[in-house]
Chain A
């Protein structure tokens, strides 16, 4: 099967910059923002978003990681998954505006797990969702607030997000 390039490095950077501005616009500034990435690539994107946000409005945005493995609804259907570290910034999430970040939004089940996980960690003022790619085929009533690119796909296709920190190259392909 041939891979079709959908986003190149410059497209990803532009998308993340736009998302950062949209986050600041909807939050009316950077006050009380906590960016939480969902491992693995969501964390990388969250780190990049945090850097962009702090360069636009210096200082106050904190970035962390939220592992959802233990909250998944498909644990007994797949081989045992190894969890990743959860890392909540020092201020916690109580009363903050949490922006969940993931690479691809598909069924919505990962985000449901993330909402359950957040529930056990505190009570944010609001929870938003930012994704690099929304490929459709939702199985739950969940939608993203900030989307890098909407990609209509068929379920037989695979979306591959590669990021230079992990994969050595920035690209999104359909395979």
Chain B
């Protein structure tokens, strides 16, 4: 694997291999010396054209734990705000000898352009592009689910037979798309729950069932309920009447959490809008994996960087 652009390109074996490597990386976090010499001398550039806290910091921690050099580059305060194109930025980074570029961009497909253009000869990791994909988030979600369900016996296993309900703004969510491809590759069944206005025009060809009714989805007793953030920055049309209305119909409140089976888990990729798509009670309950997801994010990103940057690079 040279780039990680989309979870659609990831085979079941590759996905399980990355999750297994992440298991080993997770152990590093519990050691006194939280560092491995594996990527010494490699340079990882975090190229962020959109705001991010946890993804950027997570990639930075991951790269540093593997002893890579990290350069953080955000569009604000760089020549991008002077109108520099993606091509020129990429070629500048190539001239400085970047081995991997972690890119977040507002335009869907920007990482693919970077990977296919030949502007830069580095491994490209998609850290979220527009409303397209966010593969490392899906991998860490799969890792979190697998760890909750199988515990210490997780290694080598997929998510066969696990039922997942993804709830909220499917239309704009790159997290939902990446998760849909990856979770089904791993053997899970996915149900999408959203208001009709926040679903894509067509979900034909998506390996998922679709419903508008959260209560029915909850009563079916899914193993995993994955809440999506209402992305205020992308709410440029009247997708729902108002926040209270949304919260009442599609928010995961305390009462709905109470109806879930005790073994079900509640996920959220963060940052959370408490009181909108998820109540504080749900977010802080024992069933919530929000903080585990953040901790697992570092392990997964270490595994991805290791997977892309170690080994011979095929020409």
Contacts and interface: CB of A to CB of B under 8 A. Distances in A.
B198 to A, nearest CB: 39
B312 A120 contact: no
B38 A120 contact: no
B235 interface: no
A76 B23 CA distance: 22
Contact of B37 (A70, A76, A82): A70
A80 B308 CA distance: 8
Contact of A82 (B20, B35, B38): B20
B32 interface: yes
A85 B311 contact: no
Nearest to B17: A82
Interface in B294-314: 306-307, 310-312
B36 interface: yes
Contacts of A89: none
Nearest to A87: B27
Interface residues of B, number: 20
B38 A78 contact: no
Nearest to B313: A76
A9 interface: no
B31 interface: yes
Contacts of A75: 38, 310-311
A157 B197 CA distance: 68
B interface secondary structure, majority: loop
Nearest to B41: A76
A123 B145 CA distance: 36
Contacts of B38: 70-71, 75
A152 to B, nearest CB: 32
Contacts of B21: 82-83
A interface secondary structure, majority: loop
Chain A contact-residue range equals 10 to 19
Interface string A101-127: 000000000000000100011100000
B309 to A, nearest CB: 8
A150 interface: no
B160 interface: no
Interface in B10-34: 17, 20-21, 23-24, 27, 31-33
A168 interface: no
A67 B66 CA distance: 15
Contact of A78 (B20, B35, B307, B311): B311
A86 B27 contact: yes
10 contacts: A71-B37, A75-B310, A77-B312, A78-B312, A80-B311, A81-B310, A120-B31, A120-B32, A121-B31, A121-B33
